[in-house]
A = this chain, B = another copy of it.
Amino acid sequence: MVLLIHHAVSPYCRKIRIALSEKKMLFVLKDEEPWNLSPDVYKLNPAGELPIFLSDGNVVAGNYAISEFLEDINHEVRLLPEDVKARAEVRRLTEWFDEKFYREVYRNIVMEKIHKRFAKGLAPDSRILKIGLNNLNFHLEYIDWLCERNNYLAGEDISLADITAAAHLSIIDYLGDVPWDGYRNAKVWYSKMKSRPSFKDILKDNIKGVLPAKHYADLDF
């Protein structure tokens, strides 16, 4: 059995939860608030970051190490293709969302609306929010362009790139900030992701003190 220390507002934690489910690995979750970590977290991961994966006495810390570890230990369901060029494309897109989307969208929207409120009791800065919402359009356009060409972001099959992108977007969608209607292909893709059994728990997520957007859990949104 796997124990995953996580928080619902972290896209990296959501990504690992979806990956574990896709790989049909059983796991239990332990909640930790990123703005109020318990000292135990630092003992397991001196970086003080989530997610942290525990299993059979092994501790694996961080998004990069855990996602590659899951691929290294579980070959039944592959989230990285066998072909090395195709793997590189999946990793390029994974980095796109983990780095670029995080920096340009997540930090400006979720950090403003959630972290700032719970960590510092402050209201979001509307100028920063506006930058994040503008950037979001560019990313949706790119997803739309990719999904016009393929079933999934990096090709015909689902991969770590889709899981990463959907994990990040699901938090913005919880807040009701994704303008799906302008991006038909992106919307079809996200609705496919939402319908997967691995997404079920994500759609039940509750960020304490923040109600989800009305359509958040709807498969037909």
14 A/B residue pairs, CB under 8 Å, sorted by A:
A45-B92, A47-B92, A47-B96, A47-B100, A49-B100, A62-B91, A62-B92, A65-B88, A65-B89, A65-B95, A68-B68, A68-B91, A69-B84, A72-B88
Nearest 5 Cβ contacts at the A-B interface: A65-B91, A64-B95, A65-B92, A72-B84, A69-B88
- Binary contact readout A44-62 vs B (1 if CB under 8 angstroms, 0 otherwise): 0111010000000010111
Residues of A bordering B, CB below 8 Å: 45-47, 49, 58, 60-66, 68-69, 72-73, 84-85, 87-89, 91-92, 94-96, 98-100, 142
Number of copies: 2
Q: A46 CA to B91 CA in the complex, in Å?
A: 14
Q: A157 CA to B45 CA in the complex, in Å?
A: 22
Q: A62 CA to B62 CA in the complex, in Å?
A: 19
- Inside 8 A of A66's CB, which chain B residues have their CB? 88
A87 touches B100 (CB 8 A): no
A69 touches B46 (CB 8 A): no
Closest chain-B Cβ to A209's Cβ sits at a distance in Å of 26
- Inside 8 A of A96's CB, which chain B residues have their CB? 47, 62
B84 touches A64 (CB 8 A): no
- Inside 8 A of A68's CB, which chain B residues have their CB? 68, 87-88, 91
B100 touches A61 (CB 8 A): no
B94 touches A64 (CB 8 A): yes
A69 touches B95 (CB 8 A): no
